[in-house]
Amino acid sequence: MKLLLLLENLVGARLYALMTKETRQILRDKQQLFLLMFPPIIQICLYGFALSPDVQDLRLAVTDECNSNKSRELTSALVENRVFKIGKSPLSLADMMKGIERGYIDAGVVIPPDFDRKISQGGPASIQLIIDAVDANTAGITQGYATQMISSYGRKLASTKRVRPVQSEVTYVYNPGLISAWFFVPGVLGLVLTLTGSLVSSVTLVKEKDSGTLEQLLMTPADSWEILIAKIVPLLVMLNGTVLLALCVGKVMFNLPFRGNFFLYMFVSNIYIFVVISIGIILATISKNQRQAILTSFFFNLPLIQLSGALSPIESMPDFFRMLSYLNPLRYYIQCIRNILLKGVGFDVMWKDISVLAVLAVVLLLSSAARFRKQLG
């Protein structure tokens, strides 16, 4: 009994010593530490401020050859709700065409001289609308908006009855102000965790291989799983720090709501941290040096991020990639934290996502640890 206790103590002390060594190694490299803390903040701010899919303030040019009351009314109907704004007007038709060609103007309207006459005759009066479609998605939305505004103005001309007999009352739930940062920040958190976590964990493992100190570690009485745990635990603590830091930045900079349960958030995040560390370990086992580890980490991380819905919605991906994304742990993680932060739903709603994530974490962790131990032996 006493012997067992002694043994346990010894193991504990050894593990503790190894962990101290790892922590010191991480803390000693000031540049590395700075780079662990600084990029997440910068990235979240940048993504939040720079990524905005809004279709608004499109530069519209109008060549009004009719120049009547009604044609001017049509122009003002188009710029009524901030989707379009009119730049330097009036332009000649040739200038307008050139502007669209060079990309200074997003859309151009030509109102022909007979516009007024056609309307007094009971229509239809045709106008020309040219849209720069280099950006296919924006062009589609622009087209939709413009047609809607033109037809609603046309209806106004046609009848005196102003109210539509059926009104749809649209309510935006979860994000009534339509703040795009609320969509991106949870996605970027997942992205940052993936990039930083897998990179740092693979590099700390490969470094020992690279410099040959791994053999020295193996010669010590420490068991291979002790070496592994000692490497994982400090990383776990640090990545938890990253998660909290990201949350604070989101709150301070973007007023990101936190509607769900904090412990559930930390729980899910920790499952994902294990996934990320396992990816790092796998990377470390297949690469011989740091450069290879770094390049292979890009090889894994790029598809992981692209197919996660962090930046562009999963619903709009082609079917094949949508199917593929079901295998992606990051997809589940981002979905969960968006649910917790924005929707405020709990375990009862997300249990499926969380269990899939947990299964992926366990499988990845076990297989990566097995691979690592095999390589040590």
Partner 1 sequence: MKKIHAQCKKELNQFVRDKLTLALAFVLPVLSLMLFGFGVRLEIKHIPLVVQNFDQGSLSLDLADRLFNNAQFDPHLWPGGHPLENALDKGFAKAGVIIPPDFSRNIRQGHQAYFQVFVDATDVNNARVMKNGIIGTTDGFLKANNLISSKTMIEPNIRLWFNPGRKESLYVVPGALGVVLWIFPSLLAALAMVRENESGTILQVYASSITAVEFLGGKILAYLIIAGVMAAFLILNANIFFNIGFVGDPTPYLFGVTFFLFSAVSFGTMIGTRTNSQSAAVQAVATGGFTTSLLLSGYLYPIRNIVFPLSYLTILVPARWFVQLSRDSFVRGGGWSYDWYLPIFLALGGLFFFRIAHKNLSTMQLKV
Q: Contacts with partner 1 in 205-264 (CB under 8 A)? A: none
**Secondary structure (3-state) at 58:** strand
- Cβ 70 to partner 1, closest distance in Å? 9
Interacting positions 277-296 with partner 1 (CB under 8 A): 287-292, 294-296
Q: Which is nearer to partner 1, 138 or 278 (CB)?
A: 138
Pairwise CA distance, residues 314 & 112, whole Å: 43
Task: Choose, by CB under 8 A, the member of 25, 68, 180, 224 that binds partner 1.
Answer: 180
Query: What is the footprint of partner 1 within residues 303-332 (CB under 8 A)?
Result: 303, 306-307, 311-313, 315-318, 321
Choice from 135, 240, 245, 266 touching partner 1 (CB under 8 A): 135
Which residues have C-beta within 8 Å of that of residue 227, sequence separation ≥ 6? 18, 217, 218, 376
**Residue 315 one-letter amino acid:** E
The residues in 103-122 that bind partner 1, with binding defined as CB under 8 A, are 103, 119, 122
Which residue, 18, 372, 9, is CA-closest to 206?
Answer: 372
Residue 147 interacts with partner 1 (CB under 8 A): yes or no: yes
Residues in contact with partner 1, total (CB under 8 A)?
A: 114
- Does the protein bind partner 1 through residue 145 (CB under 8 A)? yes
Among 173, 212, 221, 263, binds partner 1 (CB under 8 A): 173
Contact 142/136 with Cβ under 8 angstroms? no
Indicate the angle between helix axes 224-254 and 2-28, nearest 10 degrees.
50
Confirm or reject binding of residue 366 to partner 1 (CB under 8 A).
no
Measured at the alpha carbon of residue 341, what is the angle toward residues 337 and 344, in degrees to the nearest 5? 105
Q: Of the candidates 76, 63, 164, 70, which has an alpha carbon nearest to the alpha carbon of residue 125?
A: 70
Q: Can residue 16 be called a binding residue for partner 1 (CB under 8 A)?
A: no
252-285 burial: b if 16+ Cβ within 10 Å, else e: eebebbeebeeebbebbbebbbbbbbbbbbbbbb
Q: Does 158 bind partner 1 (CB under 8 A)?
A: yes
Q: State the binding string over 37-56 for partner 1 (x if CB under 8 A, else -).
A: -xx--xx--xx-xxxxxxxx
Q: Which residue has the tokens 């009036």?
A: 90
Q: Does 26 bind partner 1 (CB under 8 A)?
A: no
Among 67, 126, 213, 220, binds partner 1 (CB under 8 A): 126
Q: Hey, which residues between 67 and 106 contact partner 1 (CB under 8 A)?
A: 74, 100-103
Instruction: State yes or no: residue 153 binds partner 1 (CB under 8 A).
Output: yes
Q: How far apart are CA 34 and CA 335, in angstroms?
A: 29
